Structure 1
Amino acid sequence: MTDYRDVNRANWDERAPAHAASAGYNLAAFTRDPHHLSDVVTFDRPLLGDIAGLRAVHLQCHIGTDTVSLARLGATMTGLDFSPASLAEARKLSAASGTPVDFVESDLYGAPDVLDAGSFDLVYTGIGALGWLPDIRRWAQVVATLLRPGGRLFIREGHPVLWSLQDEREDDLLVLEYPYFEHAEPTVWDDGGTYVDTDHTFEHTTTHEWNHGLGEIVTALLEAGMTITGLVEHDSVPWEALPGRMTLLPGGEWQVTERPRRLPHTYTLQAVRTAV
């Protein structure tokens, strides 16, 4: 059986240059404006707080727009990703924008082998990361291993309820179609597009993905020696997750058009590594 990482890496390697060229990621704004931040990090700032002077790592950083944004807020940033093509775009962005970031290539579960364990003040994970991982407990162990005692995890992620919805229907019903809980076997997708506008015709269209229930995520962190310090559910998401049934809000967020409060779109979870 082909390893899920090889399948998904091929997909992300092909996506990276298309994403870097897209209006959605707006890389030119980082070079044009030394104070420009990604929409994602802009949304995160009220809960993220002051990170100036912190040593931080952005796990699954993709092409680095959020990583560079965090560096611009004063953190000493490392970005980690398993896609060499994504990291190539991230390094170009870092250089062109004059924002130093150390980018490291590794699968998420291999992070403790290539980064200094127990040395980070902040582990940051952004939207759309956890679904590529088959085992949420192993993820939580990686987070705890990287953090110093008292160090903090910050993650904003698509809500597992949102991930379980069927996204293309002829009617306007919101239907739970896909697994909410983690399963050993992935959900296998074959999708010829991506979440930004692009004319590129993709060849590597298959991906293997997993959902993780909110309780599973919280429990995994607790078992890894973390203390939960915050959990906020949001009624918006930074991409059109349900095409044709969402409204674009100021700041680049999308929201279900009809009765949006019936659905959690995303969540922000924070936890601190217990001092030992």
Structure 2
Amino acid sequence: MTADYLAINRASWDERAPAHAASPDYQVSQLLADPTRLSEVVRFDLPRLGDLTGVRGVHLQCHIGTDTLSLARLGARMTGVDLSGASLVEARRIAEAAGTPVEYVESDVYRAAEVLGAGGFDLVFTGIGALCWLPGVDRWAGVVADLLRPGGRLFLREGHPALWAIDETRPDGLLVLDLPYFETAEPLVWNENGTYVSTDANFTHNVTHSWNHGLGEIFTALTAAGLRVTMLIEHDSVPWNALPGRMTKGDDGEWRLTERPARLPLSYTLQAVKVS
């Protein structure tokens, strides 16, 4: 495993955070204009999240905090954790402008329990596009277990590993599993000068390292860490245009394959409870 993946990825996120906060895709202005508004990611899973009133929650890999803010608006006492200091500058600014108290802490995921303390949280939340930045889910699952009190739960919505394994750049438009589905020792190394939101910004830190993690690997890691998976739902949609030219946006804000959407799982929602 490349030892400097944290520094490489942090540089990319630090540079892109202001552009993400300014992009219409994150809908920050709408969140600030309407104190009842929730991010699309949180709103999608609202029926599954349940009552969060008074819940002490931590959002791992929170980025600019739009999901964190949304969970706080549902009544949770939220802490957001991210490795990018520049992302947390934006997250704090957004929370302050919204008048919503959220604590933000700079740390990589694997040090979160050490930094925040063990056993103090009712909820660990992780959103779309987070796990791919971690080289191993076994260690991540251990951190989740350490953060949770007994009976506390992990709530995770992620891009499906089958989606992450597809080569989206193929000129023929075929859906081909060409990238690793399973976790690998070495990262996928990308050199891309853009980002996943609409922006006119230009970037210089364009190399990132990422990993895929199979659904079975995630399930097994959580079970081995002492959590019991109580919900696993695969979805035919994602909240962004993951396969340009082959997707259509629905009235719910989610993107699905235009042709035969039932043929590919695009995301999933997982919940797991700490047994003891």
C-alpha distance in 2 between matches for 1:188 and 1:172: 23
Alignment of 1:182-261 (within 5 A): 182-261=183-262
The sequence identity of aligned pairs, in percent, is 65
Query: Residue 70 of structure 1 aligns with which residue?
Result: 71
**What do the CA deviations read for 1:30-80 (whole angstroms, capped 9, x no partner)?**
221111110110001111111111000000000000000000000000000
- Partners of 1:123 and 1:154 within 8 A in 2: yes
Matched residue SS, 2:24:
coil
Answer yes or no: is 1:97 the counterpart of 2:98: yes
Instruction: Establish whether residue 161 from structure 1 lines up as the match of residue 185 from structure 2.
Output: no
| Residue deviations 1:99-124 (CA, integer Å, cap 9, x gap) | 11000000000001111210100000
Instruction: Please give the secondary structure, in 2, of the residue aligned with 1:86.
Output: helix
CA distance in 2, matches of 1:221, 1:11: 29
* CA distance in 2 between partners of 1:266 and 1:37 (Å): 19
TM-score when normalising by structure 1 = 0.98
- What is the rounded CA distance, in whole Å, between the counterparts of 2:194 and 2:253 in structure 1? 20
CA shift, 1:172, in A, is: 2.5
**Corresponding residue pairs, total:** 275
Deviation at 1:2, TM superposition (A): 5.6
Is 1:181 paired with 2:182?
yes
Uncovered stretches (5+) of structure 1, i.e. residues with no partner: none
Q: Which amino acid aligns with 1:27?
A: V
SS in structure 2 of the partner of residue 46 of structure 1: helix
Question: Quick one: distance in 2 between partners of 1:262 and 1:225?
Answer: 33
Aligned partner of 2:57 in structure 1 is 56
**3-state SS in 2 of match to 1:24:** helix
1:86 and 2:90 aligned:
no
Distance (Å, rounded) in 2 between the aligned partners of 1:34 and 1:251: 20
Aligned letter for 1:48? L
- Note the alpha carbon deviations across 1:145-201, whole angstroms, 9 max, x for none: 000000000000000000000102222310001000001100000111111110011
Structure 1 residues 21-170: aligned runs within 5 Å: 21-170=22-171
Instruction: Please give the alpha-carbon distance, in whole angstroms, between the structure 1 residues aligned to 2:9 and 2:105.
Output: 18
| 1-structure distance, mates of 2:266, 2:254 | 10
Runs of 4+, deviation exceeding 4 Å? none
Instruction: Give the 3-state SS of the residue equivalent to 1:99 in structure 2.
Output: coil
| CA apart distance, 1:28 | 1.1
